[in-house]
Amino acid sequence: MDQAPFLTMSNICKSFPGVQALKNVDFDLRKGEVHCILGENGAGKSTLIKILSGALREDSGVIRVDGKAVTLDSPARAHELGFSTIYQEFNLCPNLSVAANMFLGEEKQFKNKGLIDKAKMRSKAKEYLTKLGVEISPSVRLSSLTVAQQQVVEISKALSRGAKVIIMDEPTASLSGEEVERLFETICLLRENGVSIVYISHRLDEIFEIGDRITILRDGTKVKTLESTKEIPREEIVALMVGRKLEDWIPKIKTEKGKEILKITDLNSEGKFYDINFTLYEGEILGFSGLVGSGRTEVMRAIFGADPYDKGTIWFDGKEMEKNNPSKAIKAGMYLLPENRKDQGLILLLPISQNVTLPRLSLVSNIFKISKGKEREAVEHYSKELNIKTPTIRRLVKFLSGGNQQKCVLAKGLFSRSKLLIFDEPTRGIDVGTKAEIYDLINSLVVEGIGIIVVSSELPEILGLCDRIIVMKDGTIAGELERGHATQEAAMALALGEGGIN
Ligand SMILES: Nc1ncnc2c1ncn2[C@@H]1O[C@H](COP(=O)(O)OP(=O)(O)OP(=O)(O)O)[C@@H](O)[C@H]1O
Ligand SMILES: [Mg+2]
């Protein structure tokens, strides 16, 4: 690897109303390296890379490419310099083919006598996809691809435009374990070809596996750049990130199993899930494990009434629940904290305070109107408990960092004082420090006798938290594991089906 950096950012500052997101941050990039950025929620990671991708403008500081100062005043300019960003919400058109997506806006290179030579476009697209070692047909519609495959199309698109730097902000958030491995193979290939990667993730294991260097941010300042990821103890990195030592795991608290709170019998939804039967008791944490796409989220949405189902019964707190009626479910004392916080969990244009109290306005209302004082008191309590980074709870949710938005969804669920809380991927995008706090909170909720379901793709999380684990595969329940007998291997074997891992 060429040791001298070709890109340097020095003394970068960026402020938003009430927050200085970046304070004199230095960052540099070498050719063909994977440079990871680590930091707690709200540390400034996304802001830094948005400046690099031309989406935000720095207030002050200098950016140099090959020694020359550059102005990144638009995404187009960043593209010209070879910087491409793979966003979580892809910039792709679902109804167009893979090839058309790859060359969107660049079609003129395939023009032949005024017409676009589609065959040529497809074969060029195939060339880039093959370079990345993937079998995706250039002629299929984008919407028929999995999230992981769409990501590969985004990367190919970046390469076809001559990207020298590919920036990835939490690229693995919705990928399964196997898909993550495949993404890593792609990243290694890019690195071998001299492409540099800026990589943001909260999963330390990933950083250790794929990263060459690590830059750690804390509260908008750069703490340190580590020259290697080898032989650095995890605790040391975590301490640099959070500025204190952290207990690695919250011990499991023993609780009394109470009465039956939820009973699902023969729940079916054509094409989504089949023959779902299970029971949950008060004071119990039930985990749902399985591969991405195994039907876990769909089952939870049906239970909460967010989606219809074909047949089966949902008994909640002794009563049969109405189909497809989430507001009744909330009134009855059930709450679902969705995985897709931006689309389903929050109203981005409302302040934190109103988002949090929305599920149960009655809790902060006097007879006729909402009491602002009660609202403030309740929301400030949860904001403090979950360590939501914001100058005020009146801030619009839109302006929070990704992880802090996730915390708002959690605050909603906690505020609603439900008897049953369903957490779908509760710690996705959440930093290590807060993760421990969330586990602690979940534990204190079950002690109070609430029933809890946790859907998670992170096996250690499920194994650590839950009393029982249901493993799903292809829309059905593949098996159930009791705490004490549940191991990573046993859960994986069920999730993958007969034959286990091979
Ligand atoms: N458009 C904006 N308007 C106001 N404040 C913003 C805006 N974008 C970011 N911020 C604030 O800047 C700070 C840094 O946010 P940033 O998104 O860079 O954090 P992050 O490190 O990516 O965190 P996460 O891990 O949660 O995604 C946060 O306090 C955030 O609320
Ligand atoms: Mg972010």
Residue 406 Cβ < 6 Å to ligand 1? no
Q: What is the per-residue pLDDT across 480-495, written as a single tens digit (0 to 9) for each?
A: 999 988 888 888 889 8
pLDDT at 502: 39
Of the listed ranges 66-70, 98-102, 142-146, the one predicted with least confidence: 142-146
Alpha carbon nearest to ligand 1 atom 25, residue? 41
Question: Is 39's C-beta closer than 6 angstroms to any atom of ligand 1?
Answer: yes
Ligand 1 probe mutation, 216, 400, 430, 435, most atoms within 8 A of CB: 400
C-alpha triplet 204, 298, 151: angle, nearest 5°:
45
Q: Tokens 């938290």 correspond to what residue?
A: 465
CA of 220 to the centre of ligand 1 (A): 9
Give yes or no for residue 341 CB within 6 A of ligand 1.
no
* Distance (Å, whole) CA 456 – CA 436: 15
Beta bridge partner(s), residue 468 = 286, 482
- Residue located nearest, by CA, to atom 1 of ligand 1: 399
Tens-place pLDDT, residues 147-175: 888 999 999 999 998 899 999 998 988 78
Q: What atom of ligand 1 comes closest to residue 14's alpha carbon?
A: 12
Digit-coded pLDDT (tens) for 419-440: 999 999 888 888 887 888 888 8
Could you give the maximum distance between any two Cα atoms of the chain, in Å? 77
> Where does the pLDDT of residue 459 fall: very low under 50, low under 70, confident under 90, or very high at 90 and above?
confident
Q: Which range has the top average pLDDT, 89-98, 136-145, 332-341?
A: 136-145
pLDDT for position 371 = 82
Match 């979950």 to its residue by tokens.
Answer: 386
Is the shortest distance between the CB of 29 and ligand 1 below 6 Å? Answer: no
Beta bridge partners, 168, equal 86, 199
Determine the 3-state secondary structure of 422 from DSSP: strand
pLDDT band at 244, cuts 50/70/90?
Answer: low
How confident is the model over 21-49, as a mean pLDDT?
95
Q: What pLDDT is attached to residue 362? A: 78
Fold of 250-333+418-502: Rossmann fold (3.40.50)
- Residue 455 above 90 pLDDT? yes
CB of 389 within 6 A of ligand 1: the answer is yes
206-215, 299-308, 410-419: least confidently modelled range:
410-419
399 Cβ inside 6 Å of ligand 1: yes
Q: Is the CB of 289 under 6 A from ligand 1?
A: no
Tell me the average pLDDT across 101-126. Answer: 90
231 or 58, which is more confident?
Answer: 58
Q: Which residues contact 222 (CB under 8 A, 6 or more apart)?
A: 24, 25, 26, 27, 215, 216
Residue of minimum CA distance from atom 6 in ligand 1: 399
Q: What are the tens digits of pLDDT across the range 282-295?
A: 999 999 998 878 89
- Any idea which architecture 7-242 has in CATH? 3-Layer(aba) Sandwich (3.40)
Plot region of 52 (φ>0 → left; ψ -120 to 50 → alpha; else → beta)? alpha
- List the chain domain ranges: 7-242, 250-333+418-502, 348-415
CA distances from 51 to 22, 74, 206, 309, 456 (A): 11, 9, 24, 45, 32
Tell me, using a 6 A CB cutoff, whether residue 434 lines ligand 1.
Answer: no
Nearest ligand, measured from the Cα of 216: 1
- Please state which of the ranges 228-237, 240-249, 447-456 shows the lowest mean pLDDT: 240-249
Ligand 2 centroid, distance to 404 Cα (angstroms): 9
The percent of residues above 90 in pLDDT, for the chain, comes to 57
pLDDT at res. 146: 84
pLDDT at 470: 97
Asked if 325 and 304 touch (Cβ cutoff 8 Å), the reply is: no
The closest residue, in CA terms, to atom 29 on ligand 1 is: 42
413 CB within 6 A, ligand 1: no
Contact between residue 289 and residue 471 where contact means Cβ atoms under 8 Å apart = yes
What is the Cα–Cα distance from 382 to 352, expressed in whole angstroms?
Answer: 11
Check if 50 has its Cβ closer than 6 Å to any atom of ligand 1: no
DSSP assignment, residue 8?
Answer: E
Q: Which of 223, 401, 408 has most ligand 1 atoms within 8 Å of its beta carbon, as the pocket-test mutant?
A: 401
**500, pLDDT greater than 70:** no
Q: Is the pLDDT of residue 12 over 80?
A: yes
Query: Is any ligand 1 atom within 6 A of the Cβ of residue 428?
Result: no
- Which position has the higher pLDDT, 472 or 459? 472
Task: Please write the tens of the pLDDT for every residue from 36-49.
Answer: 999 988 999 999 99
Strands 468-473 and 476-482: antiparallel
Q: What's the confidence (pLDDT) of residue 245?
A: 60
CA distances from 196 to 20, 167, 265, 389, 435 (A): 28, 8, 52, 31, 30
Residue 246 in this model has a pLDDT that exceeds 60: no
Q: Which atom of ligand 1 is nearest to the CA of 217?
A: 21
Total-model pTM: 0.80
For residue range 262-276, what is the model confidence (pLDDT) as tens digits? 999 999 999 999 999
Which atom of ligand 1 is nearest the CA belonging to 44? 18
> Which residues have C-beta within 8 Å of that of residue 421, sequence separation ≥ 6?
335, 337, 413, 445, 450, 451, 452, 453
Per mean pLDDT, which range of 25-29, 213-217, 225-229, 427-431 is the poorest? Answer: 427-431
* Model pLDDT, residue 338: 87
User: What number is the average pLDDT over the span 441-468?
Assistant: 90
Tell me, in angstroms, the distance from the centre of ligand 1 to residue 325's CA: 35
- How large is the average pLDDT for residues 125-130? 92
Q: Confirm if 98 and 145 have CB atoms less than 8 A apart.
A: yes
DSSP 434-476: HHHHHHHHHHHHHHTT-EEEEE-S-HHHHHHH-SEEEEEETTE
The answer on pLDDT for 499 being more than 50 is no
Residue with tokens 């929301």: 379
248 band by pLDDT with thresholds 50, 70 and 90: low
**Predicted local confidence at residue 259, as pLDDT:** 95
Q: Are 298 and 467 in contact (CB under 8 A)?
A: no
> How many angstroms is it from 414 CA to the middle of ligand 1?
23
Of 31-35, 244-248, 269-273, which range is least confident? 244-248
Task: Judge whether 335 and 426 are in contact, CB under 8 Å.
Answer: no
Ligand nearest, relative to CA of residue 398? 1
Q: Which ligand is nearest to the CA of 39?
A: 1
Intrachain domains 7-242 and 250-333+418-502 with the same fold: yes
* CA-based nearest residue to 312, from 281, 279, 277, 288: 277
DSSP 262: E
Task: Calculate the dihedral angle through the C-alpha atoms of 465, 466, 469, 472, rounding to the nearest 10 degrees.
Answer: -50
